[in-house]
């Protein structure tokens, strides 16, 4: 459920500037194109944002297949990515009244934190499969 919340939140409008509302992908694309992202890890963090839903999708699919460690790894990475970037943007205080940050980054961060918790639980607790119970 956390993966759905994180991905859904990433498609909601994160910023409003004037009459325009921008999703996380539009906002981070604009940050990249205008050169606001510094070099190093911050630049990579901005440029690789479209990978976040893919990481979460791989985590969900591999959890469905029962590959707990792989699912926890991909889910944890995607959740961490969503939680960090969502929290950073949610904490931004715009310097202009023309720009407003919505609640969507916080929603994305909460979804990411939920995925992280689920990933940890996936590794710590092993749920017996239906096949094992039928024997």
8 pLDDT more than 60: yes
CB 90 within 8 A of CB 107: no
For the entire predicted model, the pTM comes to: 0.83
- Average confidence score pLDDT of the chain: 85
Q: How many Å apart are CA 49 and CA 108, to the nearest integer?
A: 12
For range 7-13, the mean pLDDT: 93
Burial class (CB in 10 A: 0-12, 13-18, 19+), 132: exposed
> What order of strands is seen across the sheet that includes strand 20-23?
20-23, 13-17, 99-101
For range 120-129, the mean pLDDT: 76
For range 9-21, the mean pLDDT: 88
Tokens of 22: 């921008």
129 pLDDT more than 70: no
User: pLDDT (tens digit, 9 = 90+) per residue, 19-67?
Assistant: 889 898 888 877 767 667 667 777 788 888 999 999 999 999 998 898 9
Tokens of 57: 């999708």
114 pLDDT more than 90: yes
What pLDDT score does 88 carry?
Answer: 87
């Amino acid at each position: 459920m956390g993966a759905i919340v994180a991905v859904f939140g990433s498609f909601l409008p994160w910023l409003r500037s004037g009459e325009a509302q921008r999703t996380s992908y539009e906002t981070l694309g604009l940050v990249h194109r205008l050169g606001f992202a510094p070099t190093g890890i911050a630049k990579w963090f901005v440029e690789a944002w479209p990978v976040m839903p893919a990481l979460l999708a791989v985590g969900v699919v591999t959890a469905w297949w029962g590959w707990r460690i792989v699912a926890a790894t991909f889910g944890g990475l995607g959740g961490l990515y969503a939680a960090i970037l969502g929290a950073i943007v949610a904490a931004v205080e715009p310097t202009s009244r023309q720009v407003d940050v919505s609640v969507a980054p916080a929603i994305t961060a909460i979804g990411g934190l939920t995925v992280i918790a689920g990933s940890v639980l996936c590794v710590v607790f092993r749920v017996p499969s239906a096949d094992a119970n039928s024997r």
